[in-house]
Amino acid sequence: MLSWAVVLGLLARQILAIPTISAKGSKLFTSDGAQFYIKGLAYQPTPNDPLANTNQCQLDVALMQTLGTNAIRVYHVDASLDHDGCMSAFANAGIYVWLDLDTFSTYILQNTSPTPQWTKSMFQAYADVMDTFQKYDNVAGFFVGNEMLTTGASSIAAPYVKAAAADMKAYRDKQGYRDIPIGYSAADIPALRPNLQNYLACGSDAADAVDFYSLNAYEWCGDSSYDESGYDILEKNASNYNIPIFFSETGCIVPEPRLFADQAAILGPEMDHTWSGAIIYEWVETTNNYGLISYGPPSGAEPTVSVQPEIGGYSVGGAPTPLNPGFTNLKNQWATLSPTGVSENAYTPSNTPPACPSYTSGYWEVSGNVALPTIGAAAVTGPTGSAGSGSGSSGTGSGYGSASQSSGSGSAKSTASHNGAARPTHAIMHSAGMAAVEGWFGRTENSNPALFWFVGIACAILGPAIAL
Ligand SMILES: *[C@@H]1O[C@H](CO)[C@@H](O)[C@H](O)[C@H]1NC(C)=O
């Protein structure tokens, strides 16, 4: 006979368990059969790994709940740390995690000479992150990269991104992990539209395609509209897409105030039959001014948590305080938006993969469905790729960003007054390598710890002065 303690324990498990998320056709579903729409936040308050500080996660979760968030996006983690406290804090609040497998030292770089690289050591680092996080039911999906391609000519790197996804999917399946969706987060680059979106999904073998595609788009700015912003074209170009698509970053800041009116289009009748929601960039305020909350006033005031470093005068830890009107505007938008979509049982996917785009010089320099530069089945599923081997982490989370980021992607339509800030960039960090600090927040690539710290400290000291 079961003891009461066991019965209560089972009940508690039942209550605390969060349904898992998977992709079916062009939609996301929870394991209890409901369609899932993302109301997410980019969350990278500290450079290496924001999911290893339980106390900080708990402070942030409490305020995120008042905002109506059901997901966060994290760009960098350290697979060797303990994430149980943070992951359960988010799970208990019904918050899912979209996580990059790559980090500063393992990105697929678009400009590596003579070709881009997807290597066994990169694979092993990605696998370490997957091994560490796959056990959490509230992991919604993995990215194999963020904004790796930023020009038409960089399309030559697209097969490497697709190969990484194919290898990580093969590894996931070989290990017997649940079917956590694996996809890519793209910069919104006019020259690459819609070829990259189509390429990553194309081909007759679903094992070679990404499980989802997502876009970092800053097209809807200020008091714009569905037609004026260009979202109507984003919708049109995704309407026959065969896999889930969502906004992995959005939230233009010019002109202020941030109204987040695009949420009503994304999570409403105009787009909710095609798109699976949006992630707002970003939770914490730093020098680029995209934050929804602040951990403390800019420098001069007492830091809220003394052990945390500051960036550009902003504290990167402590009790979060809403920044308004942005925080309240977003909260009010989300409060009115609860698309239900279709139930999984009632949904039969009918869209087929798009055609693989053909070669167009300067725009798409990949000829159709080329063979992918995967590391291969033997490497993925062999001894070095087995879970718990504990070997060969090629430095997950050990590097810091320092590469500069190309800026300004323009918009779908040239409605000049509504395209003030195409993508987040630090106003004070456009030159002199100051974009390095963006790396803390997931926005840049490459690694050079010494340069990073030098530039980071320089920015912290000079930033406020230059801003003034
Ligand atoms: C939509 O697709 C067309 C080609 O099919 C392309 O010319 C255009 O740039 C795309 N627009 C967007 C916003 O993706």
Alpha helices in 134-157 (DSSP H): none
Cα 279 to Cα 266: distance, rounded to the nearest angstrom = 11
Q: What distance in Å separates the CA atoms of residue 135 and residue 431, rounded to the nearest whole number? A: 42
Stretch (H or E) spanning 276: strand 275-280
- Ligand 1: residues within 6 Å at CB? 193-194, 230, 233-234, 237, 412
- Residue identified by tokens 């093969």 is 170
- Residue 177: count of CB within 10 angstroms of its CB: 16
- Three-state secondary structure call for residue 97: strand
228 CA → ligand 1 middle, Å: 15
Tokens of 318: 């402590």
- Give the residue whose CA is nearest to atom 4 of ligand 1: 194
Cα–Cα distance, 61 to 64 (Å, whole number): 5
The torsion region of residue 232 among left (phi > 0), alpha (psi -120 to 50) and beta comes to alpha
The pLDDT tens digits along the chain (468 residues) read 456 555 555 555 545 589 999 999 999 999 999 999 999 999 998 888 999 999 999 999 999 999 999 999 999 999 999 999 999 999 999 999 999 999 999 999 998 888 999 999 999 999 999 999 999 999 999 999 999 999 999 999 999 999 999 999 999 999 999 999 999 999 999 999 999 999 999 999 999 999 999 999 999 999 999 999 999 999 999 999 999 999 999 999 999 999 999 999 999 999 999 999 999 999 999 888 999 999 976 544 444 443 344 556 667 788 999 999 999 999 999 999 999 999 999 999 999 999 999 999 999 999 999 999 999 877 887 654 443 333 333 322 222 222 222 233 333 332 322 333 345 642 222 222 223 333 333 333 333 333 333 333 333 333 333 332
Closest ligand 1 atom, CA of 197? Answer: 14
Residue 439 vs residues 53, 344, 394: alpha-carbon distances, Å: 19, 38, 19
Sign of the CA dihedral 333, 443, 163, 129? negative
Of ligand 1's atoms, which has the minimum distance to the CA of residue 230? 13
User: Cβ neighbours of residue 328 under 8 Å, at least 6 residues apart?
Assistant: 322
Q: Which domain, by its residues, includes 303?
A: 4-465
Residue owning the nearest CA to atom 9 of ligand 1? 193
- Tell me what percent of the chain is helix, strand and coil, each rounded to the nearest 5: 30, 15, 55
CATH (domain of 424)? 3.20.20.80
Q: Which atom of ligand 1 is nearest to the CA of 237?
A: 1
Give how far the C-alpha of residue 153 lies from the chain's centroid of Cα atoms, to the nearest Å: 23
CB environment 118-144: b (16+ within 10 A), e (fewer): bbbbbbbbbbbbbbbbbebbbbbbbbb
Nearest to 73 by CA among 94, 97, 53, 90: 97
Which H helix or E strand runs over 24? strand 21-24
- Note if the pTM is more than 0.75: yes
Phi, psi torsion values for 466, nearest 5 degrees = -65, -40
Q: What angle do the packed helices 158-175 and 120-133 form, to 10 degrees? A: 50
Count of structural domains within the chain: 1
Active site residues: 147, 249
